[in-house]
Amino acid sequence: MKNTELLNKIVTIPDNYQLAEERHETRNRHKVTILRYQKNGIFELNGPRIIAVFLKDTLVSVKNLAIVPEGKLPSPERARALAEDIFAKSNRSYARGLSFIRIEHQQREFIGEDKKIHQFPVLWIKFSHTNGSYNWVTLAGNGQLIEMEIDSRWDYFRGRRKTEMWDNDDWVLAREGKGPQLNSPNALA
C-alpha cells in the first residue's frame, strides 16, 4: 500500500495541502521517510501541518495540526475505542500486541495562518506493546486524530524519550543546531 493511501485511512488531508517536504532520517536506528504536508505545499515552521513518519510501508508516527479542532472531547471509553480502531487501521498485526495504560488530559498548539498560537485540549491515550515500547493516540474535539505514534522508546537513565522526534519542528531545529534543546520528557536532539 502506498504511504499516502495508508495516511488517508486515518487522517483527512485538506484539499489545499500538498507535499511541502520529504526527508529521509533515522528513527530507532532504522531508516524512515518523513512526509510533511502544508497549505499549497509551502513549508512553514510550526504552522498548520500534517507530518507522517514511515518505516518502509508502516506508519510509525503522524501529527495532524492542520486545523483547530472543534467540539467536545470524547468520553474516556469512546477515546480508548477510537484509539484502538486507529491502531488497527494503521497496522492490525502490530495493534494485537498493544495493552491500554491510561488516558491523560493535555494541550496541543500550533501557529495558525493568522500567526497566532492556537492551543486546544486533547486526550492522550497511552498503550504499551509487547516489544517494550510505548504507543499513543491523541484525540481532540469530536474525536479528531491529532497524533498517533508506535514503537516509541524511553531512555530510563535520562528520564526522557529516546526515540527521535521527526514530527516536532522545535526538536528538529534543536537537532540541526538552530534552536534550544527541549526539556524532558522530550528526546535529546
Tens digits of residue pLDDT in 93-147: 999 999 999 999 999 999 999 999 999 999 999 999 999 999 999 999 999 999 9
Among residues 47, 44, 52, the alpha carbon closest in space to that of 22 is found at 52
The per-residue pLDDT for range 155-164, each reduced to its tens digit, is 999 999 999 9
pTM equals 0.95
Band of the pLDDT at 178, cuts 50, 70, 90?
Answer: very high
Query: Would you state the cell numbers that stand for residue 189, as one nine-digit string?
Result: 536532539
In this prediction, residues 85-93 reach a mean pLDDT of 96
The per-residue pLDDT for range 5-47, each reduced to its tens digit, is 889 999 999 999 999 999 999 999 999 999 999 999 999 999 9
| Residue that has been written with the C-alpha cell 488517508 in this structure | 8
Q: Bridge partners of 25?
A: 32
Pairing of strands 154-155, 160-161: antiparallel
